[in-house]
């Protein structure tokens, strides 16, 4: 697991594993470990271009893109995550 501690952009996100507590794990193509953002429940997430959302287990869920990947921008200081389908 790679913790996201500064503002960053993630390309080629295959899926997002999220939780109701505010944690988002980003699966990047070709990498075995998730990139993890430990946000808060009231942080601002905006994910566009969703193909499907599936329950993973308990309070965890998987978000899959309409296209091949998501592109996600994470602003750690403001608690903002913006993802869109990257075709």
In a domain, 42, yes or no: yes
2-44 per-position pLDDT tens digit: 999 999 999 999 999 998 788 999 999 999 999 999 988 777 8
Which pLDDT band, with edges at 50, 70 and 90, does 87 fall under? low
DSSP-derived letter for residue 22 is: S
Residue 73 pLDDT: 97
- In this predicted model, what pLDDT tens digit does every residue of 59-74 receive, in sequence order? 899 999 999 999 999 9
Is residue 59 within a helix (H) or strand (E), and if so which, with residue range? none
Residue 1 lies in a domain: no
Measured CA to CA in angstroms, residue 7 lies from 33, 50, 53 at distances of 19, 23, 25
| Domains held by the chain: number | 1
Q: Could you tell me if residue 60 is inside a domain?
A: yes
**16, 58 Cβ separation under 8 angstroms:** no
DSSP 61: E
Q: Has residue 2 been placed in a domain?
A: no
Partner residues linked to 51 by β-bridges: none
Predicted TM-score (pTM) of the model is: 0.92
- What residues make up the domain containing 25? 7-86
């Amino acid at each position: 697991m790679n913790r996201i501690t500064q503002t960053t952009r993630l390309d080629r996100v295959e899926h997002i594993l999220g939780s109701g507590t505010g944690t988002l794990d980003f699966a990047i193509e070709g990498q075995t470990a998730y990139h993890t953002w430990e946000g808060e429940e009231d942080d601002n997430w905006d994910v566009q271009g969703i193909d499907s959302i599936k329950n993973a287990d308990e309070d965890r869920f998987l978000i899959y893109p309409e296209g091949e990947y998501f592109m996600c921008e994470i602003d750690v200081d403001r608690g903002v995550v913006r993802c869109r389908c990257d075709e």
